[in-house]
Amino acid sequence: MKIIGLLFFLYSISTFVFGQEISTRNNTGTIILDPAHGGKEPGAVFLHKIDGNDVFFFEKEIVLRVAYLVRDKLNEIYAYKNIILTREDDAFVSMESRTYKSIFDFSNDYITSLLISIHIDFSINQTLRGYNIFISDENSYNLANYIRQGFNKIFENDLPLIGIRQYDWYILRESNIPAILINIGYLSNIDDVLLLYSDEGLEKCAQALVNGIVAYFKSL
Ligand SMILES: [Zn+2]
């Protein structure tokens, strides 16, 4: 009886763990990753002195590198979701085409889809650092909150949260799926820039986003 009890216990654990894994992998829907700006539109550009040399840093370059990492990680987790980048290289893409709503009918896939627009902030106050998240409607708050948890767990105090705020950015307003716009750090702050230009820092940003996305879909 004891052995049967133990076997049943192990069976229950395995169906719980793998059952959850399979249902996550079977999800349909679309994840749109929007590396902001691109081409003629560089986004924020900032000059820092690194080891005595003047170095220009470009928002459009960092956000693309983060988006590549997030896409690759998501492709390993979700076999059946469309994982889409709004741009694959240093190209200019119109705001209208970044929402993909003219291509996909999201009416049946609202729950299984989301959009994350990735930016880097800047400020004339060069001591300001950290990340902030924007949403344009209450439906997206849940997603923002899971992304926040993903960042807080990986970075602790290394990249502080400035806030989750409501703002009517075009891409958020026009996307008819849950959507957030995240500013990962400040290009004007040297600590944030060194973090974002290190392979380790980029990897952590990508993993924080992925962990937030996975936790969000699991919560639905
Ligand atoms: Zn931007």
Domain annotation for the chain: domains and CATH numbers? 28-219 (3.40.630.40)
| CA neighbours closer than 13 Å in the CB half-sphere of residue 182 | 32
Report CA(59)–ligand 1 centroid distance (Å): 7
Report CA(187)–ligand 1 centroid distance (Å): 10
* Gap between the Cα atoms of 78 and 96, Å rounded: 26
Report CA(12)–ligand 1 centroid distance (Å): 47
Report CA(45)–ligand 1 centroid distance (Å): 10
**Contact partners, residue 14, CB within 8 Å, separation at least 6:** none
More confident residue, 10 or 196: 196
pLDDT at 122 over 80: yes
**Residue 178 DSSP one-character state:** -
Report CA(36)–ligand 1 centroid distance (Å): 6
Does residue 87 come out as left (phi exceeding 0), alpha (psi in the -120 to 50 range) or beta? beta
pLDDT tens digit sequence for 91-114? 999 998 999 888 888 888 888 999
Q: Per 3-state DSSP, what percentage of the chain is helix, strand, and coil (rounded to 5)?
A: 45, 25, 30
Report CA(151)–ligand 1 centroid distance (Å): 19
Report CA(119)–ligand 1 centroid distance (Å): 4
Report CA(69)–ligand 1 centroid distance (Å): 18
pLDDT at 179 over 80: yes
At residue 187, what are phi and psi to the nearest 5 degrees?
Answer: -70, -20
pLDDT at 7 over 50: no
Report CA(121)–ligand 1 centroid distance (Å): 6
Q: In what order do the strands lie in the sheet with 30-35?
A: 82-85, 30-35, 114-121, 179-186, 131-135, 161-166
Report CA(111)–ligand 1 centroid distance (Å): 27
Average pLDDT, integer, range 167-180: 95
Report CA(210)–ligand 1 centroid distance (Å): 20
Report CA(131)–ligand 1 centroid distance (Å): 12
The percent of residues in the chain predicted with pLDDT above 90, rounded, is: 75
Average pLDDT, integer, range 65-93: 96
